[in-house]
Amino acid sequence: MIIKRLKRLLLSNKLKFTVATVLILYILIFSNIPTGFSYILHASDISGVDEEGRFLYMHGLEDEEVFPSGDFSVNRNFEPADFETEIHKNIYSFDLNDDFLILVNKDHPLLKDVDCELKNYNGFDVDERIYDSLQEMMKDAKNDGINLFISSGYRNYNTQSYLYEKKINYFKRLGYSKEEAIEIASKKVTPPLTSEHETGLAVDILSYGHDIMDQEFGESEAGVWLRENCFKYGFILRYPMGAEDITKIQYEPWHFRYVGKDAAEFIYINNLTFEEFYELILEYNESEKTK
């Protein structure tokens, strides 16, 4: 009798241990904890990618709509420099034929997939020419106690088309008309050939301290560090808060674009969007033609 009870007890404990093990594995794989195993699992399956082309475990809340907050002071924390002085002193040095200064948006679409040499950075392709600058920025952030990681890099036409259509269908399921769904979706995922990710010059960056793509990332330690230091490495915060009427894209504190160190510094000092910077170069070039 005693032996039978012992056997039942052992079997019971084994069952509990097995159940507990399975439960722990389930939590690690399907929760937002960024383990290497869950990373591989999601990275290998297109269903594990959200509408922005990022792995779902990093995003946390799939399809949750994010609207700009009412505080537009964030990321507009510098008084513009003396524009006349800065423009006449520096604007002439920028050439719109520079590959790094290509403007890509809904008004300036690409004609086809960009033909660039790609290099893999921790699982994501980027234009090989920005690799060293990106690596240096990530390394310096780590030296300052901030562990960053890339959550999205280069996308080709097919990938961007898939993400765009998926977002439109999401809003249609919510009851919006096709026209309304397209209008709302395009503020979150740009149509194919209008996304900076198709150039290989844009990356989405998060941190292990804040691994969700939301507006609060901009006020996290990592978001602040990136905003204040990215220009040193040739990057700009591409879609700043308060500039949605210019960029036509909602505030994205995780999206950074490489433009080169000189251009990034000029944009940062003068508190410009890339669209405004681009227009200044056009205006300067036109003024030179009339002389």
Question: Each residue of 5-35: pLDDT tens digit?
Answer: 444 444 444 444 444 554 555 544 444 444 3
Q: Which helix (H) or strand (E) holds 110?
A: none
pLDDT in tens, 168-184: 999 999 999 999 999 99
Distance between start and end Cα atoms, the chain: 107
Q: How far apart are CA 105 and CA 238, in angstroms?
A: 11
Low-confidence ranges of the chain (pLDDT < 70): 1-89
DSSP result, 209-262 = TB-S-SGGGGGSHHHHHHHHHGGGGTEEEEE-TT-HHHHSS--EEEEEEE--HH
Dihedral angle over CA of 69, 70, 74, 76, nearest 10:
130
Those residues with Cβ within 8 angstroms of residue 69's Cβ, 6 or more apart along the chain or in another chain: 215, 241
Q: Residue 225: its pLDDT value, please?
A: 98
Q: Residue 233: its pLDDT value, please?
A: 98
Q: How far apart are CA 82 and CA 265, in angstroms?
A: 15
Helix (H, G, I), strand (E, B) or coil at 125: strand
Q: Residue 112: its pLDDT value, please?
A: 87
Q: Residue 86: its pLDDT value, please?
A: 56
Q: How far apart are CA 199 and CA 156, in angstroms?
A: 9
Q: How far apart are CA 257 and CA 22, in angstroms?
A: 42
Phi, psi of 45 (to 5 degrees): -130, 120
Cα distances from 227 to residues 62, 81, 209, 235, 266, in angstroms, run 25, 18, 16, 9, 14
Catalytic residues: 252
- The answer to whether 252 touches 240, Cβ cutoff 8 Å, is no
CATH topology for 76-155+196-291 is Muramoyl-pentapeptide Carboxypeptidase; domain 2 (3.30.1380)
3-state helix, strand, coil in the chain (%, to 5): 50, 10, 35
Residue spans of the domains in the chain: they are: 76-155+196-291, 156-194
Helix (H, G, I), strand (E, B) or coil at 286: helix
Q: Residue 113: its pLDDT value, please?
A: 84
Q: How far apart are CA 4 and CA 99, in angstroms?
A: 78
- Tokens 């999401």 locate to 170
Those residues with Cβ within 8 angstroms of residue 166's Cβ, 6 or more apart along the chain or in another chain: 51, 189
Residue 113 DSSP label: -
Q: What angle do CA 165, 166, 172 make, to 5 degrees?
A: 90
Q: Does the predicted model carry a pTM greater than 0.75?
A: no
